[in-house]
């Protein structure tokens, strides 16, 4: 069968648009992958014949459910829950749960789609899925969060299992929420099935380094990119947006690797601290007190808080967007380039808009897409599953060494694949092609399902 490749890719994308109206983030994520796949179809006509790409763009199962719960005033609240089980060619569905008011089906599908390729890149036996709810945990009491999690799990539990679907955290879902979710799963099923959820507490089946893994992993990935150009973090000015789990542990590892992180943010603004972010104070404000980033500036004399504008106005050599999707646009990308930024490493999922990514790729700025650079979190979740399955527990050093090996391995694979497919240095193409090939081969082997 002769295949006109660019036309074929256009056709697949048009069909995705038609079948999934109004899901802008999902369209964006699919488009970004499809743009890299023309070179693959050119070499693998079997994937065109068997509609492998079309099948990967269609989730295997999508679950949407009502989550009723009662707040502290006795008022009834209703949220919507989602779990998109996108692809199980490589293992049980694996991916986090996001609790944020912006969550809708399109957001969950974009995240689930990215997760397929990210998980493939880790080399671990995990498929791709994602879930969440439009519930906003901000300003909710622990008791409210618990009641919400219990109601959410009362529906979701029937879809989960250590060999079926294994959620974890994401924005708005941390150790507290994972605890409530696991407790309710255990209560309903009467099974202590540790491997059904990851990001658990260290005393009850959790794995060392899971909390740190996404941020540490992104820093290791950045370090590998720099080494490929004969450079390092030593003495470099770094800006990391966000102040959640990814950002906090990204800052920790960048500092250990010799860089200086001078700014971080939350949804209301950002802080600049020319002396380098004081991690102990940041952790106190964000982790212990669940406070706002402005409080960091209240406590640190060398810091100031800016509530307007963009954190990307702060000059830096390395930018690590680690807050949320589409937080860094074309204007920000131009500012970064003008200020001499040399590396952009995505700690969050799809934080750079397509305009921004094009600009980075065209101007020779080293750009690492999230599905490669932030894979350390889910990779360490797979290590947690491994420890649960063997009822084992690894040391911090052992786990961190494994994470570092995985991240350097992902970088090498993306780098080599980009070369092999005629775009040396293009880690977007390398990540998309390497991730896709791994999934496509398994999908193809499993027959028409
Ligand atoms: N939510 C994280 C991610 O975006 C982690 C998922 C997991 O550990 O399963 O990859």
Q: What is this structure's pTM?
A: 0.97
* Maximum Cα interatomic distance, the chain, rounded to a whole number of Å: 68
For β-strands 61-70 and 76-87, DSSP reports them as antiparallel
Asked if 114 and 185 count as a contact pair (C-beta separation under 8 A), the reply is: no
User: Percent of the chain scored above 70 by pLDDT?
Assistant: 99
| CB 36 near ligand 1, within 6 Å | no
| CB 79 near ligand 1, within 6 Å | no
Weakest mean pLDDT among 44-48, 101-105, 112-116, 223-227: 44-48
Asked if 275 and 299 count as a contact pair (C-beta separation under 8 A), the reply is: no
| CB 242 near ligand 1, within 6 Å | no
Query: What's the confidence (pLDDT) of residue 5?
Result: 77
pLDDT band with cut points at 50, 70 and 90 for residue 115: very high
Q: Is the pLDDT of residue 1 over 70?
A: no
Spatial CB neighbours of 448, under 8 Å, sequence gap ≥ 6 = 50
Q: Is the pLDDT of residue 56 over 90?
A: yes
The H or E element spanning position 415 is: helix 396-420
Mean pLDDT of 362-388: 97
Mean pLDDT of 125-140: 97
| CB 168 near ligand 1, within 6 Å | yes
- Give domain 61-192's CATH architecture: 3-Layer(aba) Sandwich (3.40)
Query: What's the confidence (pLDDT) of residue 2?
Result: 62
Mean pLDDT of 6-23: 96
Nearest to 307 by CA among 319, 290, 295: 295
**Ligand 1, from 381, 385, 399: best to mutate by most atoms within 8 Å of Cβ?**
381
Q: Is the pLDDT of residue 82 over 60?
A: yes
Q: In a 10 Å sphere around its CB, with 0-12 CB exposed, 13-18 middle and 19+ buried, how is residue 54 labelled?
A: middle
Asked if 365 and 346 count as a contact pair (C-beta separation under 8 A), the reply is: no
Angle at alpha carbon of residue 222, lines to 217 and 226, rounded to 5°: 145
Rounded CA-CA distance 192/196 in Å is 9
Q: Work out the mean pLDDT of the chain and round it to a whole number.
A: 97
Query: What's the confidence (pLDDT) of residue 273?
Result: 98
Q: How far, in whole angstroms, is CA 425 from its chain's centroid? A: 22
Listed in order, the ranges of the chain carrying CATH 3.40.50.720 are 213-373
Distance in Å, CA 149 to ligand 1 centroid = 18
Nearest to 269 by CA among 292, 303, 245, 237: 292
Domain spanning 213-373: CATH 3.40.50.720:
yes
pLDDT band with cut points at 50, 70 and 90 for residue 281: very high
Query: What's the confidence (pLDDT) of residue 6?
Result: 84
Using DSSP, state whether 173 is helix, strand or coil.
Answer: strand
Mean pLDDT of 124-137: 98
pLDDT band with cut points at 50, 70 and 90 for residue 287: very high
Mean pLDDT of 92-118: 98
Listed in order, the ranges of the chain carrying CATH 3.40.50.10860 are 61-192
Q: Is the pLDDT of residue 173 over 80?
A: yes
Q: In a 10 Å sphere around its CB, with 0-12 CB exposed, 13-18 middle and 19+ buried, how is residue 330 labelled?
A: middle
Distance in Å, CA 87 to ligand 1 centroid = 15
Q: Is the pLDDT of residue 367 over 80?
A: yes
Query: What's the confidence (pLDDT) of residue 126?
Result: 98
Mean pLDDT of 132-151: 98
| CB 244 near ligand 1, within 6 Å | no
Q: Is the pLDDT of residue 267 over 90?
A: yes
Annotated active-site positions, please? Answer: 130
Asked if 135 and 107 count as a contact pair (C-beta separation under 8 A), the reply is: no
Using DSSP, state whether 408 is helix, strand or coil.
Answer: helix
Backbone φ and ψ for 74, nearest 5 degrees, come out as: 85, 5
Pick the atom of ligand 1 nearest to 380's CA: 8
Beta bridge partners of 352: 328
Pick the atom of ligand 1 nearest to 115's CA: 10
pLDDT band with cut points at 50, 70 and 90 for residue 4: confident
Query: What's the confidence (pLDDT) of residue 404?
Result: 98
Rounded CA-CA distance 421/427 in Å is 11
Q: Exposure pattern of 375-412 as b/e (b: 16+ CB <10 Å)?
A: bbbbbbbbbbbbbbeeeeebeeeebbebbbebbeebbe
pLDDT digits 0-9 by tens, 289-300: 999 999 999 999
């Amino acid at each position: 069968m002769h295949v006109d490749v660019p036309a074929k890719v256009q056709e697949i994308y048009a069909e995705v648009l038609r079948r999934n109206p109004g899901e802008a983030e999902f369209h964006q994520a699919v488009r970004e992958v499809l743009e890299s796949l023309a070179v693959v179809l050119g070499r693998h006509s079997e994937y065109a014949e068997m509609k492998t790409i079309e099948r990967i763009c269609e989730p295997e199962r999508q679950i949407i459910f009502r989550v009723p719960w009662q707040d502290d005033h006795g008022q009834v609240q209703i949220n919507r829950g989602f779990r998109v089980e996108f692809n199980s060619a490589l293992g049980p569905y694996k991916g986090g749960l996001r609790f944020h008011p912006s969550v809708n089906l399109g957001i969950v599908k974009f995240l689930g789609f990215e997760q397929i390729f990210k998980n493939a890149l880790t080399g671990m036996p995990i498929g791709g899925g994602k879930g969440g709810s439009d519930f906003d945990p901000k300003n909710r009491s622990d008791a409210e969060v618990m009641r919400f999690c219990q109601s959410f799990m009362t529906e979701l539990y029937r879809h989960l299992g250590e060999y079926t679907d294994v959620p974890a955290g994401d924005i708005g879902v941390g150790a507290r929420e994972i605890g409530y979710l696991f407790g309710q799963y255990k209560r309903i099923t009467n099974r202590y099935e540790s491997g059904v959820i990851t990001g658990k507490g260290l005393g009850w089946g959790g794995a060392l380094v899971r909390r740190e893994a996404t941020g540490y992993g992104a820093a290791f990935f950045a370090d590998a990119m720099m080494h490929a150009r004969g450079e390092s973090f030593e003495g470099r000015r770094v800006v990391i947006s966000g102040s959640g789990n990814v950002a906090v542990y990204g800052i920790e590892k960048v500092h250990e690797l010799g860089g200086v992180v001078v700014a971080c943010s939350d949804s209301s603004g950002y802080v600049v601290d020319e002396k380098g972010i004081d991690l102990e104070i940041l952790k106190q404000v964000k982790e212990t007190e669940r406070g706002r980033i402005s409080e960091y500036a209240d406590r640190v004399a060398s810091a100031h808080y800016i509530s307007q504008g963009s954190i990307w106005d702060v000059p830096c050599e390395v930018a690590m967007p680690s807050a949320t999707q589409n937080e860094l646009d074309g204007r920000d990308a131009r500012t970064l380039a003008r200020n001499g930024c040399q590396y952009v490493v995505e700690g969050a999922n799809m934080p750079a808009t397509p305009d921004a990514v094009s600009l980075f790729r065209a101007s020779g700025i080293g750009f690492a897409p999230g599905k490669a650079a932030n894979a350390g979190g889910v990779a360490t979740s797979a290590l947690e599953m491994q420890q649960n399955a063997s009822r084992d527990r690894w040391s911090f050093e052992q786990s961190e060494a494994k994470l570092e090996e995985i991240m350097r391995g992902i970088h090498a694979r993306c780098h080599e694949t980009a070369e092999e497919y005629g775009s040396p240095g293009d880690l977007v193409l390398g990540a998309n092609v390497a991730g896709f090939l791994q999934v496509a081969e398994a999908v193809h082997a499993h027959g028409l399902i």
